[in-house]
Structure formats: structure tokens, C-alpha cells
Copies of this chain bind each other. A is one copy, B any other.
Amino acid sequence: VIVNVLFPSGGCFCRSTFLVDVCACLCVLQIDEEVAKLLQLKAQIGGDDGKHQFVLKTAKGTRDYNPKQMAIRERVFNTIISCFKRHGAETIDTPVFELKETLTGKYGEDSKLIYDLKDQGGELLSLRYDLTVPFARYLAMNKITNIKRYHIAKVYRRDNPAMTRGRYREFYQCDFDIAGQYDGMIPDAECLKIVHEILSELDLGDFRIKVNDRRILDGMFAVCGVPDDKFRSICSTVDKLDKMPWEDVKKEMVNEKGLSEEVADRIGEYVSLQGGMDLAERLLQDHRMSQSKQACAGLSDIKLLFSYLQLFQVTDKVVFDLSLARGLDYYTGIIYEAVLTQAGAVPAPAEAQKGAPAEESVSVGSVAGGGRYDGLVGMFDPKGRKVPCVGVSIGIERIFSIMEHKAEVSEKVRTTEVQVMVASAQKNLLEEKLRLITELWDAGIKAEVMYKKNPKLLSQLQHCEESGIPLVAILGEQELKDGVVKLRVVATREEVPWTHGHTHKYTHSLTQQIPD
């Protein structure tokens, strides 16, 4: 059609017009070709007009967990949950979405990252952004004044995903909180004991738990001469000290936040301090700090905290660090954060190395954090009744990333727990195999059989090796006649004959054979 239009069969045309037309024509043909290619591509990746035309992907910033990832996830969860249970915690669950207004006004600027549901007629709903606000809502709604609970569940943030560094739009949070009016610092100390236990057991390498107190920070700002209305803003500048040198932090304080050099330098002296109970004692005597009632209350609590931490035998990893200033507005007392201290502890996966700056690959990450928030539940209570809370959140996604990387490098991760493969050496033994596997299942033994009538022995043994099944019970005609079954240890190829038909003997000697 186009050709006909560009080369009219009649009429006059000069040479130059002809060339222009040819060019145009070629151009159009080229465009047509490109369009066809694009349409083909579109058809390949899926369009909207056919049956088999799906975009095969998960939503942006989310991922499936394959069986290997799930096996790692399960192992990490088991370690963490065991610890929570050892400390007498209960668990609760809340819906994945809340009334939109429940979340309103809790996250400041970050509220823009909340996923809203479409208004399909009915309530306005949003996906939960963390587990702390639903917990506070749960306490206020059920008028619960004390509970020790953990909650492990997915939360949702429309953040810029950085999936190669373990930042997703759908991710797990793993929270432990103690709510109730108790004597000072006992629950706070238990939270730190729990972080210590979990990080030790997960074997992620060396770590430190930094502690500070919101009241010490505020008191320090006051005695250094920071105007009241700049506390929060200066706090968030101090928070950058783990990523920026003091000079840059100071520059931000002076140039952007409008502090005088003198005030900034006073702050600088304090935030460089790290220590233990001794530091708290020293600061209680400090001529400036001692003028702030708030700071003194915080410092006394740090002293008390450390006395409990000594009894809990965890002071080796805990450091009182005046530069720790966690972002969340709702903290009212002690705050803490655990970091891995080994360089390279957080490995950068292959993809990240391409584009990201080099430091990323040796960045040492925060793997747990928390603090005391005595005011949040009151925000939900119609009468504003307060329920003091202290809690910790384990940075489970970062831990997954580390464990996944470890697993890739070193060990083979089993995705099933099968103990015995029921196999056959000859044909026509399916019935015998199903009879045997029924005995095993009914005795609580994890067992598999291939879904083929006559699989080759080799393929059955290969399956054992691939999926790490330690034992294989091999049925053969001769053995059936003799009333025995050969049991082979896959790794060593050692064989043990069993008397057939005596389930208990059977399963007993089997259980003896199974490696842990």
C-alpha cells in the first residue's frame, strides 16, 4: 500500500523527488520492519490478546523463594524462634492489611511508601508497613497491658528496591517485644541478651551491639546548646556517623542545619565516646552532662543495664556508643543496634558488583535494632493510656542474604529431609516398594519412592545423591525370597541386610542408621 502511494503509477515527478520518495519509502519499510520486530517481541514477552500471552514475572521488588532458599529461611527461623521460645515469648498474628487510618501519621515522610488497596467499595485499606504499629493497635484494641510476644511476618514498602543487596518491597520482619510496666531495664537487658544469643547461634561472624538512650542524646544536645526545635534534625545528622566521617557530619550540622562551629564541636567530643558502664559513670560526673536531668536519667539506666548485662554474660559484645541515634521518632528510652564487624561480612552478589560502588561489597551491616517506645500504644488508646514497650527487630533479610551466600560457597543445601529412598534392582517390584514405603511412612520415617513402575537402579541412586538422601533400601527378587531387604548407605556404599516383614526391628535398625 505504502509503495503505491509513494510511487504513483501516473503523474510527473523529477529526479530529486524520486530520490526523496525512495528514501522515504525505505525509511517507512524500515519502520515497518522495526514495528514487526517489536510486535513479535511483544508477543514473545506476552501481550493482552492471546491465551498464552502472560508476562511471566513477579511484581517489582518481590521474589519467589525456591526450595533451597526456603530451606535456609526455615533454618534461620528455627534458630530465632527457638530463642524467642526459650525466653518465654508467645506469638500473635495480624492481617496483612490494616485500615488505612491505622497507619496514618505513624511513619512521617515514609508514609508515601505505603501500599494502598484499590477502593472496591468498602473500607480503605493499606498493606502493613511494619509489625510495630499493628502490635500497638492489637494491644490497644484488646486492652492488653502486658505481653511478651514475637511476630514474624512480611511487611510491604513501595521503596526503591535494591534486590541484590537484600532490599525488597515485600520482606520479612522478625520482632520481639515486651510490653508492660516493669522494674527498670530488666526487659531491656533481656532484649539485648536475645540479640546476643541469636547472632551467636547463627554464626554470622563477630558482632557488636551498640546501645545509647534517646534521653542521653536529647540531654547532650541541650547542654551543648542545640535549640530545642533542632533536636530531631541534628539527631538524624548524628545518625550518619556510621557512614560518614565526623568532618562531613560537622559540615552538615553547621552549613545545612545552622549550628555554630562551637556547638558542633561540643557534640563532636561526646559522639566520639564509646565504652561500658565506666563511661556512663564518667559522664554522670561530666560538668556539662550532669546539668541535664534527662541525660542523667538515661546514664543511670545505662549503668543499671550494664549491671544486668554482666549477669547475662553478654558485655563482651555490648558497647555504649554516644553516636548511635536511630531514626524512628517513637523511641523514648534505650536504643540499640547490632552490626557485624567483619569486613566483607555482607557479600555483594555478582549483580551488585557490576554497577554499585566498591565499598558496597564490604559494607558492614546492621542486623538487628530496637529500643524502648513507651508512647506508641497510647496513640491508639481512646483515653491515651500508655503501655510501656521495649523490643527488637531482627534484620532477617540481610541474614538470609549472608546465609544464602555462605550456602552457595560451601555446603550443599538439602531441600527435603528424606531419610530413605525405597528402590528396586529389578522390574515389576512397584507393589513391593509401595508396601515397604507404607510401613516406613506409618512408622514416621521420611521416605520417597520414584513415581515410575520400572525405574532404573542407577537413576534411583542418582536421585539419592542429587538430593542428599543418606540411605537407600533396595528391593531385589532374591532378597524378597530370602525375606530381607538390602539397606545401603549412599555415601559409603556399605550394605546391611534386614529381615523383612518385622516393621519394628526394621524401623528401629533404620533409625539407628540415619545420620543426623
Give A contacts to B, CB under 8 Å: 44, 46, 48, 51-60, 62-67, 70-71, 73-74, 85-99, 101-102, 115-120, 122-123, 125, 127, 137-138, 140-142, 147, 149, 154, 156, 158, 170, 178, 180, 182-183, 186-187, 190, 193, 197, 308, 311-313, 378-384, 415-418, 430-431, 434-435, 438, 441-442, 444-448, 451-453
| Separation of A442 and B117 alpha carbons in the complex (Å) | 45
Chain B hits for A418, CB < 8 A: 88
Closest B residue to A89 by CB, please name it.
B416
Given A117-B118, A125-B59, CB of A95 within 8 Å of CB of B64: yes
Q: A70-B90, A70-B93 are in contact. List 4 more A-B contacts (CB 8 A).
A: A51-B379, A57-B141, A88-B416, A96-B156
B91 pairs with A70, CB closer than 8 A: yes
A182 to chain B, nearest CB (A): 4
| Separation of A183 and B430 alpha carbons in the complex (Å) | 11
B92 pairs with A180, CB closer than 8 A: no
Chain B hits for A55, CB < 8 A: 99, 101-102
Chain B hits for A64, CB < 8 A: 92-95, 138, 141-142
Closest 6 CB pairs of A and B: A67-B90, A182-B451, A62-B95, A88-B448, A311-B434, A116-B118
B178 pairs with A451, CB closer than 8 A: yes
Copies of this chain, complex-wide, total 2
| Separation of A442 and B64 alpha carbons in the complex (Å) | 36
A92 pairs with B70, CB closer than 8 A: yes
Given A52-B384, A178-B451, A312-B434, CB of A122 within 8 Å of CB of B60: yes
Chain B hits for A89, CB < 8 A: 416
| Separation of A91 and B125 alpha carbons in the complex (Å) | 30
| Separation of A53 and B101 alpha carbons in the complex (Å) | 10
Chain B hits for A141, CB < 8 A: 56-58, 64
| Separation of A442 and B447 alpha carbons in the complex (Å) | 35
Chain B hits for A434, CB < 8 A: 308, 311-312
A370 to chain B, nearest CB (A): 17
Chain B hits for A48, CB < 8 A: 101
Determine which of B46, B416, B451 lies in contact with A186 in the assembled complex, contact meaning CB atoms within 8 Å. Answer: B451
A321 to chain B, nearest CB (A): 24
Chain B hits for A147, CB < 8 A: 67
23 contacts between A and B (CB under 8 A): A46-B382, A53-B382, A54-B102, A54-B380, A55-B102, A56-B382, A58-B94, A58-B99, A59-B95, A60-B122, A60-B123, A65-B94, A67-B91, A67-B92, A85-B446, A117-B117, A178-B451, A182-B451, A186-B451, A193-B441, A311-B434, A311-B438, A313-B438
